[in-house]
Structure 1
Amino acid sequence: MFFSSLGKTFSLNNETLIMGILNVTPDSFSDGGSYNSIDLAFEHAKSLISQGAHIIDIGGQSTRPGHEEVTLEVELNRVIPVIEKISKELDCIISIDTYRYEVAEAALKAGAHIINDVWGLQRDSGEMAKVAAKYNCVVIAMHNQNSKFYEEDIILSMKKFFKKTFEIAESNGLDTNKIIIDPGIGFGKGYEENIEVLNRLHEISFIAPILLGVSKKGFIGKDLNLSPQERVEGTIAVNTLGVLNGAKIIRVHDVLEHKKALSIADKIIYFKK
């Protein structure tokens, strides 16, 4: 399976792709404030690529639990200069992590190739889908909801959510073959829901290719009472199981460690006689 987006092409046929996280925010739960200048962000992107990242996911608005929404102007000022510099000086695929269509369009103009929307095209009235259709770009659509309560089976609820995402895409001219889905671990889900979704991940793999974003999240540290910085091994374990369960892309902070682990896992998963 191949994806083409704004001059970049990538395959999901032979290896798990690694998306490196680049938060240019002061308050992200794991690395907030570490890369909130253009030069620091650029150097970190360069490091992530050298470690094996296929995609750099740039975000200027924290979506951690309890986050405070920043203004459109602030988000634009955080991400656009970074995207411009990286797109000009580094050879990589760039994803913009935003739920604002205005930021998405500005990012695509600045050199980004993928929209990563934590509301799965459902936060506005089709405006994000229209932007994606206009640029014919790949969209990562994440499952999300405001509460952790589900009136029905959680996987059934997710299937209905993604059905709506695809309907919005179609009605706004976006090629649905450009959509990658994200189960939204940690978003609108508690500990038990996260574990169940991961256990049943294969049940949604028929919808579209899956991106899995679990890096250092709270449920990984819960049982052992680990801080975000201590959750690397747990993250690798969850991501490896996720790949075995159907995930094609993983979104992580620790690229090098995952590259090493997945170089072995992929040999088994994609083994051909």
Structure 2
Amino acid sequence: MVPLTWHFRDRTLHIGPRPLVMGIVNVTPDSFSDGGNFRDTAAATAHALRLVAEGADILDIGGESTRPGAEPVSLADELRRVVPVVTELVARTSVPISVDTMKAEVALACLEAGAAIVNDVSGFRDPAMIEIAKMFRAGAVVMHMRGDPTTMQLNPQYTDVVSEVTDYLQERLRVLGESGIPPEAVCLDPGIGFGKTLDHNLELLANLNSLAGLGRPVCLGVSRKGFIGKLCGRELAARDPGSLAIASFAAARGTAHVLRVHDVAGARDAAILLEAIDQHRR
């Protein structure tokens, strides 16, 4: 893995050969994997702190499900879910806090509460989101998604999914740069499972090196996704081994730098082992 750095607010994260682990904290009733498990502030905060103890380098807090077919959440509900959790975590851990949101108002409230990263699955298409991230010098996780969560899996089609996703992310990187967000603050996400068929997902995973030329860290979110269940015949609760296999494959090839996962302990162990093996490369 080529060493990379990710700069945001007053932090610099160094990546490689060991990938970073981003722990998922869903404060939702309907997320596809763990919706309803951590709906209140106390439960979500306790879960997040467990992930830190397991080795999370970043915590990603979300208050709106982005599973296929998910209905939008009101601004008031999303703010009520995530801001208290972000506030608690900023006071109780030094791990950078990311907010997973498509709403500029939610990003603003969370950054004001001390979050450091905005993870926007809509790719910062809202100019207001760009302005807010720039104002706070926040980290930006920019993802590719065809359509929106409600419609994204309704017959997604591409001529060449690898080149189209790469071109899209390159264009977003250019737009953000021209708007005042430096490339060093950006992490790119190919959006596995977001407006892609099974074959599209596999093509992207096999060719993630196409993003290397963009010179930015790649965030890979495959944890417990439906295509793993389809290929392996596993229900949600049994998809962590398959998720870890894909994340490890991509990290070992140097094509994934931030692993967004539910199983932080497993991803941390994989990251340590990958680094140890890499140190003995001849």
TM range (shorter): over 0.9
Measured in 2, the distance between the counterparts of 1:144 and 1:31 equals 22
Measured in 1, the distance between the counterparts of 2:277 and 2:131 equals 40
Partner SS, residue 28 of structure 1: coil
Measured in 1, the distance between the counterparts of 2:244 and 2:9 equals 31
Q: Work out which of the residue numbers 115, 119, 122 in structure 1 matches 2:118.
A: 115
Q: How has the CA–CA distance of structure 1 residues 165 and 236 changed in structure 2, closer, same or farther, with 3 Å as cutoff? A: same
Give yes or no for the alignment of 1:202 onto 2:209: yes
Q: Work out which of the residue numbers 181, 187, 201 in structure 2 matches 1:180.
A: 187
- TM-score calculated relative to the size of structure 1: 0.95
Q: Tell me by how many angstroms 1:262 deviates.
A: 2.3
Q: Is the 8 A contact 1:136 1:175 kept in 2?
A: no
Q: Work out which of the residue numbers 216, 229, 232 in structure 1 matches 2:240.
A: 232
| Bigger mean CA deviation after superposition, 134-143 or 261-270 | 261-270
Measured in 2, the distance between the counterparts of 1:50 and 1:264 equals 18
- Which position in structure 1 is the counterpart of 2:63? 60
Q: Tell me by how many angstroms 1:79 deviates.
A: 0.3
Q: CA RMSD in A?
A: 1.5
Query: Aligned runs of 1:126-141 on 2, under 5 Å?
Result: 126-141=127-142
Equivalent AA in structure 1 for residue 268 of structure 2: K
Measured in 2, the distance between the counterparts of 1:149 and 1:270 equals 41
- Which position in structure 1 is the counterpart of 2:49? 46
Measured in 1, the distance between the counterparts of 2:280 and 2:42 equals 41
Q: Is the 8 A contact 2:18 2:274 kept in 1?
A: no
Partner SS, residue 127 of structure 1: helix
Q: Work out which of the residue numbers 258, 261, 269 in structure 1 matches 2:278.
A: 269
Q: Is the 8 A contact 1:114 1:140 kept in 2?
A: yes
Q: Deviations over 1:21-42 (max 9, x none)?
A: 0000000011101111111111
Give yes or no for the alignment of 1:170 onto 2:177: yes
Show structure 2 runs of 5+ residues with no match. none
Partner SS, residue 271 of structure 2: helix
Q: How has the CA–CA distance of structure 1 residues 31 and 238 changed in structure 2, closer, same or farther, with 3 Å as cutoff? A: same
- TM-score calculated relative to the size of structure 2: 0.92
Give yes or no for the alignment of 1:10 onto 2:19: no
Give yes or no for the alignment of 1:82 onto 2:85: yes
Q: Work out which of the residue numbers 99, 108, 115 in structure 2 matches 1:96.
A: 99
Q: Tell me by how many angstroms 1:271 deviates.
A: 4.3
Q: Is the 8 A contact 1:2 1:12 kept in 2?
A: yes
Partner SS, residue 206 of structure 1: helix
